[in-house]
C-alpha cells in the first residue's frame, strides 16, 4: 500500500475528511514542544479547523527526547490520521496543521532560531508532568534535576523544556523581539502560573535581568481534555484499511474534546473559539475540576484496575463495584471541593463515566499508571488536603493513594513483575525492598517522599491511618475484596 503523503492525499476515499486549505500557503505561527499523541489529537485538530481562513498559524512541532515522531511524519509531509472511535465505529480524518517536525537533539539550532523569530507568536507544550523538571508537590523548579544542571552549565544548547524556552526568549530579548506566549497544555495544576514560576526561576538562575524579562512574558493557563490511548499495530492496520494508505503513526481518540484557555496572548493568537475552544478569564476552576474528577478517577482506576487484572479502562467499567467506587469518589469526595458556578457537576460526572465506558477506546490501565509520583499531587492529594481541612472523610481517595503504593512495589497479585515507569521508580523499589511484607513500613517509606506528599501529608495522622489501613487490606484481602468492602460500607441505604 502507498504511504500517506501530500501526493497521495487526493486518493483518500470519499468520507475521509482531509485538509480544506492549500498547505503550501501555510506559514508557522506556533512552535509546539512535545509533539506526541496528545497534541496531535487535540490542539493540532483545533488549528486544522482554522487554517483555511487563518493560514499564518501553522504548527512546527518538536520532540525533545526521541526522533520517532519526526521519522514517522516526515515521509508523510507531516500528515497523519486522527481516528475517532466509539460504539458507532471509527471515523478517520487527516490532519495537516503540522507543517514540519524538528528533532531537538539533532536540530537544536534550527529549532531555537525558529523559536526566536518574530513570526512565532506562541510556543505551546505537552511535555508531560515530568518534562518541566519541577518538584510536583511544591510546583517549584528542581534545581538539582540533571537536565536543569546541564542547561545551566550549557545555556545556549539546552535539553530541557525550561532551558529551551529561556534560551529562545533570551535571543528574542537580545534582538528586541517581543516575547512569544508560552502555553502549557499539560495536566499540571494552574499550569500557566506553575510553568511561569518554573521557567522564570530557571531564567533568573541564568541571569537576573533574564529572570525579569521572563516575569513579563504571558503564560496563559489551559484546561485540555481528550482521551488518547497509545496507538498499536492493530490500529495502524485498521486505519490503513480506512484511508487507503499506510500511516506510520495514526492517533486513536474519542469523540469528546474540550479546551479552555485563559485569554492572555499579548502578541496575538488564532481565533481558537471558532474551533470550539472556550476562552475565559480564569481557567483554574476548570483545571481543578478536570484534574480532580477525570484524572483523579483515572489514576484510581489505573492502579486498582491493573492490580485486579483489568487491561483497559472500559474493562474496569464493566465491574459494578469499581463503577460505584468511582461514582462515589467523584460525587462524595471530589465534587464538594469544587466551586463551579454555572457548571452541572453531576452531568459532568455522568459524561465522564460514559467516556470511561467507551468500548472502542482501548485505553490501558498501565498507560495511565505511568509517572504516578508526578500525577498524584494534583489528581488526588490536593482533594485530600481540602477534605482534611474541612474535617471530611476521603476513604475512596485514600484507597486510590494506597493502590498507587501497592502498585509501585512492582509485583502484582499473582506475583508477576509490573513494569513500573516513573522517574522515582528506583527509589520506590528500594523503599519497597526495605519494607518487605510490612504494609505499615511501606506506607511510612513512601509517604516520606516529600516531592510527592509535601512536608504536611506524610506526618498527618488521619491521612496515615486512612491510607495505611487500605494498604494493609490490599495486601491482606486483595484488590477486588477491598473495593467490594469499601463500596458496601459506604453505600447509602
Window contacting ligand CS2 (CB under 6 A); options: 194-202, 292-300, 329-337, 443-451 = 292-300
Task: Find the shortest distance in angstroms from Cβ 286 to ligand CS2.
Answer: 12
C-alpha cell at 382: 490536593
Tell me the closest approach of the beta carbon of residue 225 to ligand CS2, in angstroms. 4
Tell me the C-alpha distance between 33 and 124, whole Å: 6
- 85 counts as binding ligand CS2 under rule CB under 6 A: no
Residue nearest ligand CS2 by beta-carbon distance: 298
Least distance from ligand CS2 to the Cβ atom of residue 258, Å = 8
Q: What's the angle, vertex CA 378, arms to CA 375 and CA 380, rounded to 5?
A: 85
CA 283, CA 223: separation in Å to the nearest integer? 7
Contact 339, 281 (CB under 8 A): no
Asked whether the beta carbons of 263 and 280 are under 8 A apart, the reply is yes
**What's the min distance (Å) between Cβ of 226 and ligand CS2?**
5
Q: How far is the CB of 265 from ligand CS2 (least distance, A)?
A: 22
Smallest gap, in angstroms, from Cβ of residue 469 to ligand CS2? 26
> Does 295 engage in binding with ligand CS2 (CB under 6 A)?
yes
Binding to ligand CS2 in span 374-403, by CB under 6 A: 375
* Nearer of residues 141 and 227 to ligand CS2, judged by Cβ: 227
Q: How distant, in Å, are the alpha carbons of 80, 144, 159, 162 from that of 131?
A: 25, 14, 10, 9
Contact flag: residue 84 with ligand CS2 (CB under 6 A): no
Q: Minimum distance from CB of 275 to ligand CS2 (Å)? A: 17
Burial class (CB in 10 A: 0-12, 13-18, 19+), 153: exposed
Q: Closest CB to ligand CS2 among 63 and 187?
A: 187
Q: Can you tell me the distance from the alpha carbon of 294 to that of 5, in angstroms, rounded to the nearest whole number?
A: 36
Radius of gyration over alpha carbons of the chain, in Å?
Answer: 23
Which stretch, 116-124, 159-167, 224-232, 380-388, contacts ligand CS2 (CB under 6 A)? Answer: 224-232
Q: How far apart are CA 238 and CA 236, in angstroms?
A: 5
Residue 40 interacts with ligand CS2 (CB under 6 A)? no
* Residue 225 within binding range of ligand CS2, rule CB under 6 A: yes
Count of residues that bind ligand CS2 according to CB under 6 A: 10
Output the smallest distance, CB 380 to ligand CS2, in A.
12
* Interface with ligand CS2 in residues 153-192 (CB under 6 A): 187
Is there binding between residue 39 and ligand CS2 (CB under 6 A)?
no
What's the grid cell of residue 309? Answer: 487484572
Write out the three cell numbers for 267: 502578541
Please state, in angstroms and rounded to a whole number, the distance separating the CA atoms of residues 233 and 238.
9
CB of residue 79 to ligand CS2, shortest distance in Å: 24
Give the residue, chosen from 30, 168, 227, 442, that forms a contact with ligand CS2 under the rule CB under 6 A. 227
Nearer Cβ to ligand CS2, position 166 or 291? 291
Based on CB atoms, which residue is closest to ligand CS2, 74 or 451? 451
Give whichever of 350 and 465 is closer to ligand CS2, judged by the CB atom. Answer: 350
Q: Which stretch binds ligand CS2 (CB under 6 A): 85-93, 140-148, 367-375, 438-446?
A: 367-375
Contact assessment for residue 210 and residue 203, using Cβ atoms and an 8 Å cutoff:
yes
Site for ligand CS2 contains 298 (CB under 6 A): yes
d(CA 392, CA 398): 12
Residue 367 lies near ligand CS2 (rule: CB under 6 A): yes
343 conformational bin, left if phi > 0, alpha if psi -120 to 50, beta if neither: beta
Residue among 137 and 243 whose Cβ is closer to ligand CS2 = 137
Nearer to ligand CS2, 130 or 387 (CB): 130
Segment near ligand CS2 (CB under 6 A), from 149-157, 195-203, 223-231, 439-447? 223-231
Does the protein bind ligand CS2 through residue 368 (CB under 6 A)? Answer: yes
Classify residue 492 by its DSSP letter.
-
State CA 295 to chain mean position distance: 9
Judge whether 58 and 29 are in contact, CB under 8 Å.
Answer: yes
User: Taking the complex as a whole, how short is the minimal distance between the CB of residue 378 and ligand CS2, in angstroms?
Assistant: 11
Question: Of residues 93-112, which lie at the interface with ligand CS2 (CB under 6 A)?
Answer: none
Minimum CB distance to ligand CS2, residue 372 (Å): 9
**How far apart, in whole angstroms, are the C-alpha atoms of residue 411 and residue 439?**
14
DSSP bridge pairs for 223: 260
Read off the C-alpha cell for 154. 550549557
Cell of 369: 499508571
Q: Which stretch binds ligand CS2 (CB under 6 A): 60-68, 118-126, 225-233, 425-433?
A: 225-233
Give least dist CB 140 to ligand CS2, A: 22
Q: Which stretch binds ligand CS2 (CB under 6 A): 84-92, 220-228, 398-406, 429-437?
A: 220-228
Task: Report which secondary-structure segment, H or E, holds 260.
Answer: strand 258-262
**Minimum Å distance from CB 150 to ligand CS2?**
27
Distance of CA 18 to the CA centre of its chain: 27
Inter-helix orientation angle 161-175/191-206, to 10°: 70
Rounded Cα–Cα distance for residues 237 and 359 (Å): 19
Q: What sign for the dihedral angle of Cα 463, 467, 470, 475?
A: negative
- Binding-site ranges for ligand CS2 (CB under 6 A): 187, 225-227, 294-295, 298, 367-368, 375
Amino acid at each position: 500500500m502507498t504511504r500517506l503523503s501530500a501526493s497521495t492525499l487526493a486518493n483518500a476515499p470519499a468520507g475521509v475528511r482531509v485538509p480544506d486549505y492549500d498547505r503550501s500557503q501555510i506559514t508557522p505561527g506556533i512552535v509546539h514542544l512535545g509533539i506526541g499523541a496528545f497534541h496531535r489529537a487535540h490542539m493540532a485538530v483545533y488549528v486544522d479547523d482554522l487554517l483555511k481562513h487563518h493560514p499564518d498559524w501553522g504548527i512546527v512541532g518538536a520532540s525533545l527526547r526521541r526522533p520517532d515522531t519526526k521519522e514517522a511524519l516526515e515521509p508523510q509531509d507531516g500528515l497523519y490520521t486522527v481516528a475517532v472511535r466509539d460504539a458507532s465505529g471509527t471515523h478517520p480524518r487527516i490532519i495537516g496543521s503540522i507543517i514540519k517536525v524538528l528533532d531537538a537533539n539533532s536540530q537544536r539550532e534550527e529549532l531555537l532560531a525558529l523559536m526566536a523569530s518574530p513570526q512565532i507568536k506562541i510556543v505551546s507544550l505537552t511535555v508531560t508532568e515530568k518534562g518541566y523538571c519541577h518538584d510536583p508537590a511544591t510546583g517549584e523548579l528542581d534545581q538539582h534535576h540533571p537536565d536543569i544542571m546541564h542547561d545551566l552549565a550549557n545555556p545556549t544548547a539546552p535539553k530541557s523544556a525550561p532551558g529551551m524556552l529561556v534560551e529562545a526568549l533570551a535571543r528574542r530579548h537580545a534582538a528586541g523581539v517581543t516575547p512569544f506566549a508560552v502555553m502549557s497544555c499539560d495536566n499540571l495544576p494552574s499550569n500557566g502560573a506553575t510553568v511561569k514560576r518554573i521557567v522564570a526561576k530557571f531564567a533568573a538562575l541564568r541571569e537576573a535581568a533574564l529572570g525579569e524579562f521572563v516575569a513579563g512574558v504571558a503564560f496563559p493557563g489551559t484546561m485540555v481534555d481528550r482521551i488518547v490511548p497509545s496507538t498499536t499495530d492493530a490500529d495502524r492496520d485498521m486505519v490503513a484499511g480506512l484511508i487507503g494508505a499506510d500511516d506510520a503513526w495514526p492517533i486513536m481518540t474519542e469523540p469528546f474534546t474540550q479546551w479552555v484557555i485563559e485569554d492572555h496572548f499579548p502578541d496575538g493568537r488564532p481565533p481558537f473559539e471558532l474551533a470550539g475552544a472556550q476562552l475565559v478569564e480564569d481557567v483554574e476552576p476548570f483545571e481543578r475540576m478536570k484534574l480532580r474528577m477525570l484524572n483523579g478517577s483515572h489514576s484510581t482506576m489505573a492502579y486498582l484496575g491493573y492490580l485486579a487484572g483489568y487491561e483497559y479502562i472500559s474493562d474496569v467499567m464493566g465491574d459494578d463495584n469499581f463503577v460505584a467506587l468511582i461514582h462515589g469518589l467523584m460525587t462524595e469526595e471530589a465534587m464538594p471541593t469544587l466551586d463551579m458556578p454555572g457548571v452541572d457537576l453531576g452531568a459532568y460526572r455522568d459524561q465522564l463515566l460514559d467516556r470511561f465506558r467507551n468500548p472502542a477506546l482501548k485505553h490501558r490501565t498501565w498507560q495511565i499508571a505511568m509517572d504516578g509520583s508526578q500525577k498524584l499531587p494534583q489528581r488526588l492529594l490536593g482533594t485530600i488536603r481540602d477534605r482534611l481541612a474541612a474535617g471530611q472523610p476521603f476513604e475512596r481517595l485514600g484507597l486510590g493513594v494506597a493502590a498507587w503504593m501497592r502498585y509501585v512495589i512492582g509485583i502484582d497479585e499473582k506475583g508477576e513483575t509490573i513494569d513500573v515507569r516513573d522517574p522515582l521508580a528506583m527509589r520506590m523499589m528500594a523503599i519497597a525492598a526495605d519494607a518487605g511484607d510490612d504494609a505499615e513500613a511501606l506506607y511510612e517509606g513512601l509517604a516520606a517522599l516529600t516531592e510527592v506528599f509535601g512536608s504536611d501529608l506524610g506526618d498527618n495522622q488521619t491521612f496515615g491511618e486512612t491510607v495505611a489501613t487500605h494498604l494493609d487490606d490490599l495486601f491482606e484481602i486483595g484488590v477486588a475484596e477491598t473495593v467490594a468492602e469499601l463500596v458496601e460500607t459506604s453505600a447509602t441505604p
